[in-house]
Amino acid sequence: MSNPIPYLSPWMNEELLMFRKTAKRFVQEEFLPHEPRWREQHRPDAEAWTKAGETGLLLTDVPEEYGGGGGTFAHETVVMEELAYAGVNFGSGVHSIVAHYVLSYGTEEQKKSWLPRMAAGELVGAIAMSEPAAGSDLQGIKTFARREGDDYIINGSKTFITNGWHASLICLAVKTDAQAGAKGISLVMVESKGLKGYRVGRSLEKVGMHAQDTCELFFDDVRVPASNLLGSTEGRGFYQMMEQLPYERLTVGVAAVAVTEKAVEITIRYVKDRQAFGKKLIDFQNTRFKLAECKTEAHIGRVFLDNCIQRLMDNQLDTATAAMSKYWLTDKQCAIIDECVQLHGGYGYMSEYPIARMWTDSRVQRIYAGTNEIMKELIARSL
Ligand SMILES: Cc1cc2nc3c(=O)[nH]c(=O)nc-3n(C[C@H](O)[C@H](O)[C@H](O)COP(=O)(O)OP(=O)(O)OC[C@H]3O[C@@H](n4cnc5c(N)ncnc54)[C@H](O)[C@@H]3O)c2cc1C
């Protein structure tokens, strides 16, 4: 299937066009046929990770010396777009986010140990910040890592964790000093397979994104080497998260624009086909005007996103602009897709229609990676 918008982003080039072909073929042939089953089981198959790794679709923007693709955020964008155009929920974006924490703050030994295995899909990354009583207000987390000799002993729980079931390398936000507020938060990497005291809870029943692996995680006297602390000193976790969140927020924006473009494309097709009162839906002026508005806004979103992608690649994407992209692009995504559902009539509410799934999948985009209200707080700080 072609790119739904006949517009070439300024960051696109010949090599990326070839890479898009590979990603598209892979998603269509290796993921899409299994996607209905993934929705039923609430997670992708474990082999999906190693297959994506073999095809070179994981850690595309991590240097080759650590097993990555040696590309840029443009490569990540291509993979996320192809997943979004196909309507496949796969947590490779979160996996990349974890890799970037390791890349930015890990020791040489940690990078060499974890990144090649992540690139191969042998290790699956998750980032575990949110807890039952602390989401937006991360300073309120309770999961605690107590130093004992050369180890940390970790106790606590996390919820809503993407890739939770398959996760084998968890970037875990913990308190290392209960009294120090934000300065008491650290990030500890947990290699979780077979780890005593570590338990994955149930797969959470979501209203959408059914194929995405979302779980609770429990830590009961879990012992990890103290050398798994990210960064050389305790208490840097909050700062590290703030530094990495623009990358995460832009990945949400990338998916928002791709899904929006796809929704407009399939709705245009639908209204050209469906008839009412003896004419095609597209022949009603309301339909044409609504879709003209949707297409215009989707295109404005694309141009803004492209600007943010370029700024990220140039190391110029500041916190406020990343927050603008996350909030605005996901608000628009939900509004436009809601309009597209309306233009589908009753069929727009039927799960077998892609537009219905886009509608339920989209809603969470305004909530995770920092709610859109928190994004406005961040933007407001720059006023
Ligand atoms: C499908 C899914 C996947 C997720 N994946 C992950 C993951 O991989 N890792 C992870 O750590 N977390 C993950 N999350 C958690 C997500 O990041 C949180 O749900 C989100 O940050 C909001 O936290 P909360 O749910 O505790 O809501 P709360 O913080 O309780 O917020 C409730 C409401 O209050 C508003 N609010 C809170 N504080 C303020 C304020 N200061 N000003 C104005 N309004 C405010 C919020 O905007 C929101 O509308 C995921 C969530 C979902 C649903």
The verdict on 24 and 104 lying in the same domain is yes
pLDDT tier at 232 (50, 70, 90 boundaries)? confident
Residue 3 placed within a domain: no
The verdict on 201 and 292 lying in the same domain is no
The verdict on 371 and 260 lying in the same domain is yes
Last residue in a domain, options 235, 267, 284: 235
Q: Are 217 and 190 in contact (CB under 8 A)?
A: no
Tokens read off for 194: 């077979």
Q: Where are the alpha helices (DSSP H) in the chain?
A: 14-26, 35-41, 46-54, 73-86, 92-105, 108-119, 237-273, 285-313, 319-343, 354-362, 372-380
Residue 5 placed within a domain: no
Residue 6 placed within a domain: no
In this predicted model, what pLDDT tens digit does every residue of 146-188 receive, in sequence order? 999 999 999 999 999 999 999 999 999 999 999 999 999 999 9
From ligand 1's centre to the CA of 135, what distance in Å?
A: 5
Average pLDDT on 100-119 reads: 97
Query: Please, which residues have CB within 8 angstroms of residue 233's CB and are 6 or more apart in sequence?
Result: none
Query: Please, which residues have CB within 8 angstroms of residue 74's CB and are 6 or more apart in sequence?
Result: 11, 12, 16, 309, 313
- CA dist 368 and 214 (Å) reads 12
Tokens read off for 273: 């086909």
The verdict on 189 and 106 lying in the same domain is no
Atom of ligand 1 nearest to the CA of 209: 1
The verdict on 112 and 159 lying in the same domain is no
Atom of ligand 1 nearest to the CA of 158: 11
Q: Are 95 and 89 in contact (CB under 8 A)?
A: no
Residue 247 has pLDDT above 90, yes or no: yes
Output the pTM of the full model: 0.96
Average pLDDT on 262-274 reads: 98
The verdict on 279 and 339 lying in the same domain is yes
The verdict on 251 and 225 lying in the same domain is no
Average predicted confidence (pLDDT) for the chain:
96
**Gyration radius of the chain over CA positions:** 21
CATH number where 296 lies:
1.20.140.10
Residue 30: predicted pLDDT: 98
Residue 104 has pLDDT above 50, yes or no: yes
From ligand 1's centre to the CA of 168, what distance in Å?
A: 23
Range of the domain at 79: 14-119
The verdict on 107 and 214 lying in the same domain is no
Q: What is the dihedral of CA 91, 96, 97, 102, to 10 degrees?
A: 140
From ligand 1's centre to the CA of 290, what distance in Å?
A: 32
3 state DSSP class of 148? strand
From ligand 1's centre to the CA of 131, what distance in Å?
A: 10
Task: Identify the residue whose C-alpha is closest to ligand 1 atom 41.
Answer: 374
The set of protein residues with a Cβ atom below 6 angstroms from ligand 1 is: 94, 127-130, 135-137, 160-162, 206, 209, 214, 364, 367-368, 370-371, 373-374, 377
The verdict on 100 and 149 lying in the same domain is no
The verdict on 154 and 72 lying in the same domain is no
Number of domains in the chain: 3
- As annotated, the active-site residues are 248
- CA dist 113 and 116 (Å) reads 7
Ligand 1 pocket check: which of 39, 127, 130, 139 to mutate, most ligand atoms within 8 Å of Cβ? 130
Residue 24 has φ and ψ, to the nearest 5°, of -60, -50
Tokens read off for 315: 């190391």
The verdict on 134 and 226 lying in the same domain is yes
CATH number where 193 lies:
2.40.110.10
